[in-house]
Homo-oligomer: A and B are copies of this chain.
Amino acid sequence: MAEEKTIQEHEIGLSAEDIAKEFKEHSVAEFFKKNMQMLGLTGKIKTLTTIIHEYVTNSLDACEEAKILPDIEVQIKELGEEYYEITVKDNGPGLTKETVGKALGKLLAGTKFHRMMQMRGQQGIGAAGCTMLSQITTGKATSVITGTSKGKPFSAEITIDPKKNEPKLDNISELDKEFHGTIIRAKFKGVKYVNSEQAPMEYLRRTAVANPHAQITLIEPSGQKIIFKRTLKEVPARPVEMKPHPRGVAIDDLITLAKYSDTRKVSSFLKNSFDRVGDKALEELAKGISFDMNKDPRQLGWDEAEEIIKQFKKITFIAPRTDGLIPVGEERIQKSLQSIVNPEFLNVVTRKPSVYSGGFPFQIEVGIAYGGDAGRVAEANEEGVSQRKIEIMRFANRAPLLFDTGGCAITKAVQSIDWKRYGMKDFENAPLTIFVNLISVHIPYTSAGKQAISDEDEIMEELRLALMDTGRRIYTFIGRQRRLAEKEAKRKMFYKYATEVAYAVSELTGKTKKDIEQKLHSIVLKHLKLEEQKEKEMDQKSEMSEEEIEKEYEKRKAREKKDSEKKQKKKGISGGDE
């Protein structure tokens, strides 16, 4: 606490020993309590959306692990001015008495952080952060009712001690009824329910788009009930725990894994701990290793681990396994976009899985819709005509990202494409909806608030390749559209003149106008067919193969690199003196 004296004394400098007296340690809960904005819990509308995001993603993840078709009900009640009660009910596997406190009342505790598994949550922070927010804005505990397949369901009230980052459970009581699932109810002040692009309704709409197997009900403060119906009755595959892919693994990761391995030999440790490391890879590996592969992995030193990593880089591994990555799927994205924006043109691209630094496998899905209701409605222009602007729908592991748009790798990738080359002159104002879903066993979020993806090199590359692929298809479509319109105009013009020419020729030659007209028509038709043939050939030429796109991309990267180097040279140094 600041004492009055410090103000008089603040012209005197402190020594290291004075400063040392101020040294303290803090819990992660204290840290996030003071920095709620880092959890996305800032701004009246954003906070409400983030709370619902945390609860709903937990419900979806739990249902997926339990192979249950999710039925989720979100109820938002207005209790007073900027004062709301949120209830989220699911039919998931439920929580046990041992886990419920930690799941909702301790930061950095949970089932997801340490497992390499594609889930929406991955930190063990979100729901406990909400408990903390409820408590600091209303002084109230978060209520939970939960029932598993064993024993009786129970209810409890949970708070958190920020100094210790420990949960406190009160009023635990068993319930004499059947219930399988979890109901969380919490109150929040300083939040506001509105119906806008960044609010709960839009969040749930997008959740439904990427999770057609879930039935989601929203009960608004007005009492209005909106149901996003399940359109797919099949439970998605249960996410599988993945092993890191040897490509991208760092020396330290290798040592940490080795330290906690229960194998006895380095060779079996490598085989057990990494994806795609089989006997053949081990054989190749052994060629470049100076130490005995029968060594105890817990004794693996830095230099030895470095040898392994170096040798890993020389081996051509197959791409990471795909069974741990569960995309939404081309067909489903297509169906969803079709039903929402009813576009003139629609294309979905799913890239092959790739790996980013750390050995984390990931995969990109991109859907692009053009025309129709695609794009978001922008303000009307000066003539009063409402316009459409590009809309980017971002998802990470099927969870919608609504905030921090500018800081997200997906947005950056979209902006880095030269859309003019794909026939879009004014890309920002095109009637375009771009759907991007990044799936991975670990999403590199820029912040604990999980609203933007960090622009890791490998992720940016895959995003750009997918976007360029869809861009190329749109280009063909827009080109065809343009040519069709031109052809239509040409045909009309030809016929118009044919009639006039026929009339004149008939006057001159005395032949019947009808005969001449017919002859002219057949000449025109022949001409138009020839043109069509040429166009088809052109189209075929413009349909670049995947390899061609990648080549084009490599060329562009090289060019950009050269440009930026040139720029740097030009810029020189300013503001510094030798």
How many angstroms between the C-alpha atoms of A37 and B339 in the bound complex? 37
A321-349 CB mask vs B (1 if < 8 Å, else 0) is 00100000000000000011000000000
The answer on a CB contact under 8 Å between B124 and A42 is: no
How many angstroms between the C-alpha atoms of A137 and B255 in the bound complex? 12
Residues A445 and B35 in contact in the complex (CB < 8 Å), given A24-B113, A148-B17: yes
Residue tally, chain A, CB below 8 Å to B: 130
Residue in contact with A15 in the complex, picked from B25, B98, B150, B242, CB distance below 8 Å: B150
The answer on a CB contact under 8 Å between B570 and A252 is: no
A448 interface residue per 8 A CB criterion: yes
The answer on a CB contact under 8 Å between B35 and A444 is: yes
How many angstroms between the C-alpha atoms of A447 and B450 in the bound complex? 10
Q: Which of the 9-residue segments A2-10, A169-177, A524-532 touches chain B? A: A2-10
Minimal Cβ-Cβ distance residue in B for A567: B379
Residues A252 and B14 in contact in the complex (CB < 8 Å), given A196-B564, A446-B449, A578-B226: no
How many angstroms between the C-alpha atoms of A75 and B54 in the bound complex? 44
The answer on a CB contact under 8 Å between A13 and B205 is: no
Residues A113 and B31 in contact in the complex (CB < 8 Å), given A2-B240, A13-B238: yes
The answer on a CB contact under 8 Å between B13 and A93 is: yes
A471 interface residue per 8 A CB criterion: no
CB distance from A239 to the nearest CB of B (A): 8
Q: Which residues of B contact A447 (CB under 8 A)?
A: 38, 446-449
Q: Which residues of B contact A404 (CB under 8 A)?
A: 407, 446
The answer on a CB contact under 8 Å between B148 and A16 is: yes
Q: Which residues of B contact A1 (CB under 8 A)?
A: 241, 243, 261, 272-273
How many angstroms between the C-alpha atoms of A434 and B95 in the bound complex? 53
The answer on a CB contact under 8 Å between A96 and B139 is: no
How many angstroms between the C-alpha atoms of A20 and B17 in the bound complex? 47
Which A134-163 residues have C-beta < 8 A from chain B?
135-137, 139, 146, 148-150
The answer on a CB contact under 8 Å between B228 and A102 is: no
A225 interface residue per 8 A CB criterion: yes
A388 interface residue per 8 A CB criterion: no
Q: Which residues of B contact A273 (CB under 8 A)?
A: 1
A285-299 CB mask vs B (1 if < 8 Å, else 0) is 000000000000000
The answer on a CB contact under 8 Å between B136 and A252 is: yes
A426 interface residue per 8 A CB criterion: no
A111 interface residue per 8 A CB criterion: yes
CB distance from A222 to the nearest CB of B (A): 12
CB distance from A191 to the nearest CB of B (A): 13
Residues A96 and B444 in contact in the complex (CB < 8 Å), given A10-B237, A11-B238: no
A483 interface residue per 8 A CB criterion: no
The answer on a CB contact under 8 Å between A150 and B17 is: yes
The answer on a CB contact under 8 Å between B23 and A194 is: no
The answer on a CB contact under 8 Å between A195 and B568 is: yes
The answer on a CB contact under 8 Å between B28 and A28 is: yes
The answer on a CB contact under 8 Å between B2 and A93 is: no
Q: Which residues of B contact A229 (CB under 8 A)?
A: 577
Q: Which residues of B contact A25 (CB under 8 A)?
A: 102, 106, 108-109
Residues A377 and B570 in contact in the complex (CB < 8 Å), given A93-B15, A136-B250, A137-B252: yes
A498 interface residue per 8 A CB criterion: no
Q: Which residues of B contact A384 (CB under 8 A)?
A: none
A455 interface residue per 8 A CB criterion: yes
The winner among A190, A194, A386, A575 for most chain B CB atoms within 10 A is: A575
Which A228-255 residues have C-beta < 8 A from chain B?
228-229, 237-243, 250-253, 255
Q: Which residues of B contact A261 (CB under 8 A)?
A: 1
CB distance from A482 to the nearest CB of B (A): 24
A99 interface residue per 8 A CB criterion: yes
Residue in contact with A16 in the complex, picked from B35, B94, B226, CB distance below 8 Å: B94
A43 interface residue per 8 A CB criterion: yes
The answer on a CB contact under 8 Å between A2 and B209 is: no
CB distance from A507 to the nearest CB of B (A): 53
User: What 17 new A-B contacts, CB under 8 Å, besides A2-B115, A26-B109, A448-B448?
Assistant: A1-B241, A1-B272, A14-B93, A15-B149, A20-B98, A22-B111, A23-B102, A24-B111, A35-B445, A37-B445, A37-B456, A38-B447, A137-B251, A137-B252, A226-B573, A404-B446, A407-B407
30 A-B residue pairs with Cβ-Cβ distance under 8 Å, sorted by A, are: A2-B116, A12-B67, A13-B66, A14-B66, A16-B66, A16-B94, A16-B146, A20-B99, A23-B99, A23-B109, A25-B102, A30-B113, A31-B113, A35-B123, A42-B456, A135-B252, A136-B252, A137-B251, A139-B255, A139-B305, A201-B576, A205-B574, A208-B575, A208-B576, A226-B576, A227-B576, A228-B576, A340-B575, A406-B407, A446-B447
- Top 5 closest pairs, chain A to chain B, by CB: A406-B406, A13-B67, A407-B407, A139-B302, A136-B252
